[in-house]
Chains A and B, each alone.
Chain A
Amino acid sequence: MKPEELLAGTARERGEQVFGAPWEARAFAIARRMTELGLCTWDEFRALLIDEVGKADRARSQAGTANVSPAASPNTSAPGGSASGEAYYTHFLSALERLLAEKGIVGARDIEARMAEIVAPEPESHK
């Protein structure tokens, strides 16, 4: 198969984005990498993802915002509110963090500390 045939019909070619932002792609790749390395199974990850999505669904049901049409902007990744699927990778990231904590690989405090380091002003850091 020629490369252009492989490309044909992928989201990128149709002008759609597989990921809405670079961090979404990164979070997805990290989760996949963890399963590739055998540090977890995708099923283990999925159980946590289902839990995170479920929590958000219940909150939404209570707020009564269930009747938004998913077809309103089916082929764009335009912001469409919390019911539109835009928040999916937020749940994905929460599930990933829980998994890494449960496996004793990276804890929440490690992440907070590293975030602080990254944003700390550092004169030598190049931009």
Chain B
Amino acid sequence: MAQGTHGTLPSGAALRVKALESLLEEKGLVDSQALDAIVDAYETQVGPRNGARVVAKAWADPAFRKRLLENATATVAEMGIAGPEGEHMMAVENSPRVHNLIVCTLCSCYPWPMLGLPPVWYKSFAYRSRAVRDPRGLLNDFGLEIPDEVEVRVWDASAEQRYMVIPERPEGTEKMTEDELAELVTRDSMVGVAKIEPPRRRAPAKR
């Protein structure tokens, strides 16, 4: 399925897209540079590091956390985090009693400005169907055992709303700075398929 190599011609989907691009270019609707810029942005700039910064700030700043839970879109815009698929974002918070999981059962909706584009498995039929039918079993597959007394809440992105999870702040991070905290936050924890492990030892200062 990859593009042709060693001078061979593209085939299958690669050929269809090439034909499509060439037709649109003729009509003056797309050009290579504009398309490259879009790809580059989603490969290198829009990513879960933004969400990690938001989580770290929420852990460190109770007033920010409160505003974030009330109106995520407006609150993260203060940090310069905004863009397509981020018009209606909602942050949901994990606690010792509630574990949140996000999914888009119909396609692939995801809070792009916070997390980038979703991983392949997020778009899989297996994930999309099991997140609702058997969330605990699904989380088990990800290596996450949720005790019976903890409620699992599943947030299915609608046509409008995009969700992200604020994971629990691990123990032993009380003295960490926001930047250090942000480095602990993983994409998977903001989807709700992982927890954040406490740091084994204090994170080394910047090398």
Interface string of A30-58 (1 = CB under 8 A from B): 10111101010011001001100110110
Specify the main secondary structure of chain A where it touches its partner: helix
CB-based contact B17/A26 at 8 Å: yes
Q: Could you say which residues of chain A place their CB within 8 Å of the CB of B20?
A: 27, 30, 96-97, 100, 106, 111, 114
Looking at the assembled complex, report how far the CB atom of A96 sits from the nearest CB atom of chain B, in whole angstroms: 7
* Given A30-B30, A118-B15, 16 more pairs with CB closer than 8 A: A9-B49, A16-B119, A20-B1, A23-B17, A23-B18, A25-B42, A25-B43, A26-B35, A29-B36, A70-B122, A71-B138, A71-B142, A74-B119, A93-B13, A105-B24, A106-B23
CB-based contact B29/A29 at 8 Å: no
CB-based contact B13/A89 at 8 Å: yes
Q: Could you say which residues of chain B place their CB within 8 Å of the CB of A88?
A: 108, 120, 123
Interface string of A1-27 (1 = CB under 8 A from B): 000011111111000101111110111
Interface string of B139-152 (1 = CB under 8 A from A): 00111000000000
CB-based contact B84/A32 at 8 Å: yes
Q: Could you say which residues of chain B place their CB within 8 Å of the CB of A20?
A: 1, 120
Within 8 A of A (CB), among B64-80: none
CB-based contact B14/A22 at 8 Å: yes
**CA of A22 to CA of B15, assembled, Å:** 11
**CA of A35 to CA of B85, assembled, Å:** 12
**CA of A127 to CA of B9, assembled, Å:** 9
Other-chain contact of B45, A10, A42, A60, A68 (Cβ < 8 Å): A10
Most chain A beta-carbon contacts within 10 A, residue among B9, B30, B119, B183: B119
Q: Could you say which residues of chain A place their CB within 8 Å of the CB of B17?
A: 23, 26-27, 30, 93
Which partner residue on chain B sits nearest A32 by CB separation? B38
Q: Could you say which residues of chain A place their CB within 8 Å of the CB of B39?
A: 19, 25-26, 28-29
Q: Could you say which residues of chain B place their CB within 8 Å of the CB of A23?
A: 1, 3, 10, 13-14, 16-18
Q: Could you say which residues of chain B place their CB within 8 Å of the CB of A127?
A: 7
Count residues of chain A with CB under 8 A from any CB of chain B. Answer: 72
Can you spell out 23 A-B residue pairs with CB atoms less than 8 angstroms apart?
A: A9-B48, A11-B43, A11-B119, A21-B2, A21-B13, A23-B14, A25-B42, A30-B21, A32-B38, A33-B29, A34-B29, A66-B125, A68-B124, A71-B138, A71-B141, A74-B193, A75-B119, A80-B124, A88-B120, A106-B27, A111-B20, A119-B9, A119-B15
Count of chain A to chain B residue pairs whose CB atoms are closer than 8 Å in the complex: 202
Which partner residue on chain A sits nearest B39 by CB separation? A25
**CA of A39 to CA of B24, assembled, Å:** 12
Looking at the assembled complex, report how far the CB atom of A56 sits from the nearest CB atom of chain B, in whole angstroms: 8
Other-chain contact of A85, B46, B84, B122 (Cβ < 8 Å): B122
Looking at the assembled complex, report how far the CB atom of B149 sits from the nearest CB atom of chain A, in whole angstroms: 23
| Given A5-B49, A18-B117: A93 touches B16 (CB 8 Å cut-off) | yes
Is the CB of A69 closer than 8 A to any CB of chain B? yes
Which partner residue on chain A sits nearest B18 by CB separation? A118
**CA of A100 to CA of B16, assembled, Å:** 13
CB-based contact A29/B127 at 8 Å: no
